[in-house]
Structure 1
Amino acid sequence: MRSPTDRRQPQKSDLRRVAILESLNHHLRESGFDALNIAAVAKRAGVTRSAFYFYFENKAAAVAALLEPMYDDGFLASDILTDTTQPPARRVRAMLEALLDTVDEHRYLLQAMLEARATSAAIRHVWDEARETFVPTVAQMIASERAAGRAPDGPGPEMIAGILLEFNDRLMERHTLGGRLSRDELLTAAQSVWLRTIYANDGDELQ
């Protein structure tokens, strides 16, 4: 999935864009988003500032492009969740673990994205749009579980899916920034929220 904030949709062979993103990745690891300097990024990439802006509207848009691999991880987590051949508790836990694994792998990028999201309406739109792409799949899973008698009726599946995915958004943010709860505590609590919201229990009788 390509970032819609890219100014140009280049071919995969466009090495300048790759060089810019590699340089951006290096500088984010070293200094974070706030201290990011476009001139320094361009210099390390061996391009001009104008070349940077040829591809990206601003540094926030470039960070969004760096996060493209995370979208693939999100699709993987969605596939785990919607595999109804597995017991609910097992697949919900596996989905949540996959999300936090993504945070652990890309923590500095997520920190940069959170900073960018706070100041850029365009980046907030990218983030929200990416999350919304998962709503239909999760809603379909909820509807099928209700139809099979494994989950009780309730508010519309799309509404429930949207709320739970926003909850995941907050979960990833909390794990990124840190807090008093350990990873395992976050996972256990989040698993209960998902299962009780969809199944009205912790999934024990559905193993």
Structure 2
Amino acid sequence: MNDQTGRRRRPSKGDQREEAILASARTLLCERPMSKITVAQIAEGAGITAPTFYFYFATKTDVLVALLDQVAERVRDELSGWLESEDGTGAGAEEALRQALTTNAYLWAEQGALLREVFVCPDNDPRLASFRDRVSEHLITALGRRIERDREVGRALAGPPEAADLARTLVEMTFAVFSAASRRDDPALRDGRLVETLAAVVMRSVYGAAPRTGV
């Protein structure tokens, strides 16, 4: 962040403590679900007291949402390159799809425990449910519009009749595949094999042709 003089200001002690809390929670989530983690444990990992924790976050859910917001922003940024491209089957668009899937694979490899906490594990917390629905529906809507545009100009296959149905299936399938791979620490999540498989599934489902390799 820059100050009024244009110089980048140093993170304040508050900024550093907030990041320490998030880092502590992220580490603990690799070991057990949030329901098994206490505020005291998060605070200890951040090097602060429990009362200090509450100065920055009201609940554990606030910490979880803050972590998820960071991840969701990266997912949206990467996917926008392919979803908003005008050429669905060109080399540039295929590379954009691979890059988006590669970033997602990296995020699931590094933060699978956090992502599974929301997208896979059942949770009755309305804030987490709202976040999950918001992110999922954003991706489904954007992909559905992409498919509809490409169908209108004859690039995409004609069916299924509702583009949104195909989009939902592809988005939910991708979440499920990444989740399963992250849970078992599958090397394919990191070495590109899973990305190539998913890219082929998406391209064949939408356009009827596999993506070109080595683009």
Please state how far the C-alpha of 1:141 moved relative to its aligned partner: 1.1
Match of 2:181 in 1: 175
Please state how far the C-alpha of 1:47 moved relative to its aligned partner: 5.2
Q: Is 1:139–1:158's contact at 8 Å kept on the other side of the alignment?
A: yes
Q: Structure 1 residues 21, 189: CA separation in 2 closer, same or farther (over 3 Å shift)?
A: same
Q: Is 1:152–1:200's contact at 8 Å kept on the other side of the alignment?
A: yes
Match of 1:7 in 2: none
Distance of 2:163 and 2:39 partners within structure 1: 44
Q: Is 1:92–1:194's contact at 8 Å kept on the other side of the alignment?
A: no
Match of 1:185 in 2: 193
Please state how far the C-alpha of 1:65 moved relative to its aligned partner: 1.6
Distance of 1:111 and 1:147 partners within structure 2: 36
Match of 2:82 in 1: 81
Match of 1:70 in 2: 71
TM-score under structure 2 length normalisation = 0.70
Match of 2:152 in 1: 147
Distance of 2:25 and 2:186 partners within structure 1: 29
Match of 2:206 in 1: 198
Distance of 2:27 and 2:111 partners within structure 1: 10
Match of 1:59 in 2: 60
Match for 2:179: what amino acid? E
Match of 1:41 in 2: 42
Distance of 1:18 and 1:118 partners within structure 2: 32
Percent of residue pairs identical: 15
Q: Is 1:135–1:161's contact at 8 Å kept on the other side of the alignment?
A: yes
Q: Is 1:118 equivalent to 2:122 in the alignment?
A: yes
Q: Aligned-pair RMSD on alpha carbons? A: 3.3
Q: Is 1:28–1:36's contact at 8 Å kept on the other side of the alignment?
A: no
Q: Deviations over 1:97-149 (max 9, x none)?
A: 1211222343453355568x434443233223212112222112111111121
Name the count of aligned residue pairs.
Answer: 190
From 17, 21, 24, give the equivalent of 1:23: 21
Distance of 2:97 and 2:154 partners within structure 1: 18
Distance of 2:32 and 2:13 partners within structure 1: 24
Greater RCO, 1 or 2 (C-alpha within 8 Å, sep 6+): 1
Q: Is 1:134 equivalent to 2:139 in the alignment?
A: yes
1:94 counterpart SS class: helix
Q: Structure 1 residues 179, 40: CA separation in 2 closer, same or farther (over 3 Å shift)?
A: closer
Distance of 1:200 and 1:170 partners within structure 2: 22
Please state how far the C-alpha of 1:15 moved relative to its aligned partner: 7.0
Q: Is 1:101 equivalent to 2:96 in the alignment?
A: no
